[in-house]
């Protein structure tokens, strides 16, 4: 789908999901272009919901958690360069994979803040995910396993659907950047190995959704 087609969808209540292959730039560059279009009102990112800063000074000024810091920067009309500096000094994105493509999730978050866009990190905390795996006897599985993805996506879809229901000024301009694997069917067995993101969101009332694959 073209950039203009995606812009057209952003003008409606459709949730536009960009399926991100983290080591490739395509979805990230599209996110960058859409954020720059001034059509995006809310931007959901695949990053831990409860991630915290380990810089005491920055955390005291902007908030301990990433989502609190984002809200504080939006309240004070923080521009891109300053937002990027705060996110970097605060080490809110310290667990980003160094092999991920550019622009990074941190850079896209700063760009969105500079545009006045609400950004929400809504992946389940990895420590909490591991605890759930352990408690269910699946502690040896990776956080990218189908079982772990199901745990993470149930959490994320709950956060996303709630924000879309109660958020102000987000009845359109809905964008998310999420791992492509969270939207795929397991072709080998012809069915979901877990409850994929689009299914969970649909079950929670997000029935107008477009997944753009690259």
Query: What is the chain's pLDDT, residue by residue, as a tens digit (214 residues)?
Result: 899 999 999 999 999 999 999 999 999 999 999 999 999 999 999 999 999 999 999 999 999 999 999 999 999 999 999 999 999 999 999 989 888 999 999 999 999 999 999 999 999 999 999 999 999 999 998 888 888 888 999 999 999 999 999 888 899 999 999 999 888 754 444 444 456 888 899 999 999 999 999 9
pLDDT at 195: 67
Pair of tokens at residue 190: 């012809």
140: exposed, middle or buried (Cβ count in 10 Å: 0-12, 13-18, 19+):
exposed
Nearest to 173 by CA among 31, 25, 24: 31
Report how far residue 110's alpha carbon sits from residue 171's, in angstroms, rounded to the nearest whole number: 22
Q: How far is CA 80 from CA 52, 72, 84, 189, in A?
A: 20, 14, 6, 45
Q: Helix 3-10 to helix 26-36 angle, to the nearest 10 degrees? A: 50
Q: Are the CB atoms for 80 and 114 separated by under 8 Å? A: yes
- Counts of helices then strands in the chain (DSSP H, E): 9, 5
CA distance readout (Å), 40 to 21, 53, 173: 21, 26, 4
Domain locations along the chain: 3-212
Q: What is the pLDDT of residue 189?
A: 42
Q: Exposed, middle or buried, 184 (CB in 10 Å: 0-12/13-18/19+)?
A: middle
pLDDT per residue as tens digits for the range 105-155 = 999 999 999 999 999 999 999 999 999 999 999 999 888 888 888 899 999
The CATH architecture of the domain made up of 3-212 is 3-Layer(aba) Sandwich (3.40)
pLDDT of 196: 81
Whether the model clears a pTM of 0.75, i.e. scores above it, the answer is yes
């Amino acid at each position: 789908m073209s950039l203009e087609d995606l812009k057209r969808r952003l003008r409606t209540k459709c949730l536009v999901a960009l399926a991100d292959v983290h080591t490739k730039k395509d979805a990230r560059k599209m996110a960058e272009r859409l954020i720059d279009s001034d059509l995006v009102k809310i931007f959901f990112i695949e990053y831990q919901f409860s991630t915290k800063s380990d810089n005491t000074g920055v955390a005291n000024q902007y908030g301990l958690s990433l989502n609190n810091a984002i809200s504080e920067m939006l309240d004070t009309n923080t521009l891109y360069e300053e937002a990027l500096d705060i996110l970097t000094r605060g080490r809110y994105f310290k667990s980003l994979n160094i092999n991920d493509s550019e622009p990074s999730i941190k850079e896209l978050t700063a760009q969105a803040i500079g545009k006045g866009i609400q950004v929400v990190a809504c992946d389940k905390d990895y420590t909490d995910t591991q605890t759930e795996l352990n408690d269910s006897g699946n502690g040896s599985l990776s956080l990218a396993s189908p079982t772990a993805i199901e745990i993470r996506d149930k959490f994320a879809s709950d956060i996303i659907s709630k924000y879309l229901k109660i958020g102000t000024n987000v009845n359109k301009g809905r964008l998310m950047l999420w791992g492509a694997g969270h939207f795929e069917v397991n072709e080998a067995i012809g069915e979901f190995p877990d409850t994929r993101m689009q299914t969970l969101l649909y079950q929670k009332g997000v029935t107008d959704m477009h997944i753009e694959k690259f």
